Amino acid sequence: MTPQDQKNIGTIRNAITLIKSFVDYDDSIAKLTEIQAQTENPDFWNDTENAVKIMKEKDSIITMIAPADYLEKKLDDVIGMMELADSEGDDGLVLELSNDLTKLAKEAITLQIESILSERHDSASCFLEVNAGAGGTEAQDWAEMLARMYTRWAEKRKYKIEIADKDDGDEAGVKSIRLHIQGNKAYGWLKKESGVHRLVRISPFDSNARRHTSFASVLVTPEVDSNIEIEINPSDLRIDTYRASGPGGQHVNKTESAIRITHIPTGLVVASQIDRSQHRNKEIAMNMLRSKLYAQKLREQEEASNPSQPKTDIAWGNQIRSYVLQPYKMVKDSRTGVENGNALAVLEGDIDDFLEAAVSQL
């Protein structure tokens, strides 16, 4: 085996160890054995409600321990086949299996991160909002580029993406856009993306082809389920209807189906024009409002526990990540130090390295 093979094997084994520690593997196996014994009791299904509850617990445990079991079996299989191929002098198969190890090492890191994402709401869908900052039309175009980047990333993960609301820019791009990203652990993966993102490039809107710096902010909030108590007084809300913008056919253009809700005490504003139904748009907007109010509550609690944490503006010096397209191409995260020289690939949604590094710091 090559040194790289040994390194990949070490990465996979380390991931297995960490995943097992996150899911309390030994205790989970013991609990699974106990549940299995219960299900074999002839009277188990006499109490249907309790039986269903126990079966759900069993499924949950199996889901938690599955990644470690999968990685262990896959690693044992590859190592066994590699040793056999090496002993028979089959260099082509050894090379193929070496490539399999590299892929498995990357998969192991992803599964390790998935196991880390076990905090409350990590498994939830989310709302991702992008707002243009300093830079005028440049910033508005940059905000739309960011929204596209997250959309491409979500599509690669087979998540469902909807544009909940969009405020088009004056000349190009968007002043703001809200995406509803639905899928397992969407919030967990994206929650550290909240912050200011900076772009440096030659402006396509500048006839003199000068370099411009633009900013946009990203806010990610979990889609809050009905079990979370968020008190909203109807008298604190101002609800406006308006005609949806963008594509949608004659119905959208002629009917005031879009909803905008202002929460007067906090000044928070949410809107939805996803659906042709005004009732459905109101439901979506209220869901976003609950999500924002809950996120604000969590943020206030965090600021109270860490009063030295500064509040930031959408401007220079406050960015969490810089995307440089000119005079060189580089994307660098200021929190983790992760860099990627293929900036265009990043803007097409290749952001897993940044997300994994940010989540790993939790």
Q: In Å, what is the CA distance from 49 to each residue of 43, 210, 226?
A: 13, 68, 22
350 three-state secondary structure: coil
* CATH placement of domain 3-116: 1.20.58.410
Query: Taking the alpha carbons of 197, 200, 203, 204 in that order, is the dihedral positive or negative?
Result: negative
Cα 15 → chain centroid = 21
Tokens 């909240």 map to which residue? 194
- Opening angle at CA 308, ends 187 and 134, nearest 5: 65
Reading the chain (362 residues) residue by residue, the pLDDT tens digits are 899 999 999 999 999 998 998 888 999 999 999 999 999 999 999 999 999 999 989 998 998 899 999 999 999 999 999 999 999 999 999 999 999 999 999 999 888 888 888 777 888 899 999 999 977 899 999 999 999 999 999 999 999 999 888 888 888 999 999 999 999 889 999 999 999 999 999 988 887 878 889 999 999 998 886 666 788 888 999 998 887 665 444 434 445 688 899 999 998 888 888 777 888 888 888 888 888 888 888 777 766 765 555 554 554 456 899 999 988 999 999 999 999 999 999 999 999 999 988 987 75
- Calpha distance 352→154 (Å, rounded): 11
Strands 211-222 and 126-132: antiparallel
Please, which residues bridge with residue 262 across strands?
A: 238, 269
Backbone angles phi, psi at 192, to 5 degrees: -85, 5
Q: Which two tokens stand for residue 329?
A: 């191409």
Using a cut of 0.75, tell me whether the model's pTM lies above it: no
Domains 3-116 and 126-228+306-360 share a fold: no
- Domain ranges (residues) in the chain: 3-116, 126-228+306-360, 234-268+275-293
User: Residue 205 CB: number of other CB atoms within 10 A?
Assistant: 13
Fold classified for 234-268+275-293: Double Stranded RNA Binding Domain (3.30.160)
DSSP state of 207: T
- Calpha distance 277→259 (Å, rounded): 10
Tell me the helix, strand and coil percentages in the chain, rounded to 5: 50, 20, 30
User: Residue 15 CB: number of other CB atoms within 10 A?
Assistant: 24
Return the C-alpha torsion angle 159, 163, 165, 170, nearest 10: 130
Query: Taking the alpha carbons of 117, 121, 124, 125 in that order, is the dihedral positive or negative?
Result: negative
With respect to CATH, is domain 126-228+306-360 assigned 3.30.70.1660? yes
